[in-house]
Amino acid sequence: MARPKSLAVLKPVVQASGYDPMTPVRSLAAIPPLMALALILVWPAIALAQSLDAADRPFEALWHWAPFLITRGFLFNILISFLCLAIGTFAGVLLGLGQISLHRPLRGLSWFVTQLFRNSPWLVLLFIVMLALPFEVTLFGRPYYVPGWIKAVIGLSLPVMANIAEIVRGAVRSVPSTQWEAAESLAFTRRQILWRIILPQCFKRMIPPWMNWYAILTMATPLVSILGVEEVVNLTRQAIVAEQNRPELLMPFYGFVLVLFFAYCYPIARLTLRLERKFAVKL
């Protein structure tokens, strides 16, 4: 009797190599909590070592300016990140749904806008928005000044919008096509299928990458300081100037800003990976 040949088997799914948008948050969250605490504690020692004989003076100045830098600077960065994420999420959801539209012109336009802002440098977009928008608008015959931070919010919202659109499109495409076919067989309209069947399953899948982009956005908010927006980096520079530009202040002040961002983004990164494991699609 002839020996049967080996039957074909389904091999495990191998993820294609390439850039993973979750890489920045994974790298940050990979730092153990104790090591993260140690890194924060090492900062004062390095600052003291660089300040030489004036070891006590830099931290006296930092202690004086710290409340101002936190309340008037860092919290403003957080406000900018919230506004950018809100605008980017709203516009990104619409843009992502446009990419799966049955209307070819709308689908093509949505794809073009997504790729344009997704692959453009954030700083270049900020400069374009800052220069393109007017410095003053007139409503009902009364002029109104347009603050720089509003332009910065719009500029940072554009790349966030494009990346959120990709998250929405990818989440919708990840739902098995059999669910679309089953819903169509039950005479559901496309709108009913999308809003009642497909999108409710996508929300959990979109939360981890959505939080990932919020962490990236928060770490990118210091870019607006180049455009003159008075956030934490700009105010830190002003505080150093007010202290006679002493070189020994650079490490304590900018190290303090680094600690603020790290202490804020590190828990978000840890929570993001935890939610990613919780909501991972089991194959």
Paired residues of 138 in beta bridges: 143
pTM of the model: 0.79
> Is the pLDDT assigned to residue 268 strictly greater than 70?
yes
Q: Report the percentage of the chain scoring pLDDT > 70.
A: 78
Which pLDDT belongs to residue 15? 41
pLDDT digits (tens, 9 = 90+) for 139-152: 887 888 888 889 99
**Cβ count near 72 (within 10 Å):** 13
Q: What is the pLDDT of residue 143?
A: 85
Domain 72-247 fold: MetI-like fold (1.10.3720)
pLDDT (tens digit per residue) in 87-142: 999 999 999 999 988 889 999 999 999 999 999 999 999 999 988 888 888 888 78
| Measured distance CA(21)–CA(240) in Å, rounded | 36
